[in-house]
Amino acid sequence: DAMVIQNPRYQVTQFGKPVTLSCSQTLNHNVMYWYQQKSSQAPKLLFHYYDKDFNNEADTPDNFQSRRPNTSFCFLDIRSPGLGDAAMYLCATSRDWAGGSETQYFGPGTRLLVL
Amino acid sequence: GDSVTQMEGPVTLSEEAFLTINCTYTATGYPSLFWYVQYPGEGLQLLLKATKADDKGSNKGFEATYRKETTSFHLEKGSVQVSDSAVYFCALSETVQGAQKLVFGQGTRLTINP
């Protein structure tokens, strides 16, 4: 089945040690998103790619970077994770913007633990 | 900016009870409205959506009607099941540089007891 896949499902890293989370999609969607969801909170958009164009949310810390080498893959890099970065990270995709009514398809998420 | 306010949880009901989860929004335009559901340990799944005023979204027995006059999109189900236990997020869409940005409410945790 076409889907959004995130690896790994659980990631443990040490304080300050760079970590990369990955997302792939078989939907051939143009847009890919990264959300951060802390415990019992709503998902918060970090950034998105519209094709190769990168769009950062104004309040996303510089510690968070992203790469999209091709249509199918997108990576979230956390350069120096802090304890406050422990969260679930959700990847999502959508087709081209259609007046804002497009459905976003979410992956299962990667839960990041920072020790 | 645009925002979504949801009924605070958690909500606990017995099986076959009637469910309402309130959602209101603030937006400058006429956004599309969504309900997403998150089961334990999983990502979000679209439950239903409505793209214009008076539209009704429906899926799996759940319904919500886009009410422009009250800026609301309340989620309802006539008879809930244990399998409906999850966190429910109301969201609206706004346009950001050629793509859609979802603005979520804080989520409502629903527990259905047998």
B39-97 per-position pLDDT tens digit: 988 889 999 999 999 999 999 999 999 999 999 999 999 999 999 999 999 999 887 66
Residues in A 6-35 with any Cβ partner in B closer than 8 A: 6, 31, 33
pLDDT of B99 over the 80 cut:
no
Mean pLDDT for all residues in chain A: 91
Nearest to A64 by CA among A87, A81, A44: A81
A91 versus A97: the higher-pLDDT residue is A91
- Residues of B with CB below 8 A from A53's CB? 97-98
Closest CA to A114 of A29, A10, A44: A10
Tell if the CB–CB gap between A50 and B106 is shorter than 8 Å: no
Q: pLDDT at position A50, please?
A: 87
Q: Determine contact: A94 vs chain B, CB below 8 A.
A: yes
Distance CA A30, CA A52 (A): 9
Burial tier of A52 (Cβ tally within 10 Å: 0-12, 13-18, 19+): exposed
Which tens digit of pLDDT belongs to each residue from B27-44? 988 899 999 999 988 889
Q: How many CB atoms lie within 10 A of CB B52?
A: 13
Q: Which of A10-14, A49-53, B78-82 has the lowest mean pLDDT?
A: A49-53
Distance of CA A40 to the CA centre of its chain: 18
In this predicted structure, what is the pLDDT of residue B7?
A: 82
Helix (H, G, I), strand (E, B) or coil at A66: strand
What integer is the mean pLDDT of A4-18? 95
> Cis ω on the peptide bond leading into residue A8 (within 30° of 0)?
yes
Distance CA A97, CA A50 (A): 9
- A90 and B43 within 8 Å at the Cβ level: the answer is yes
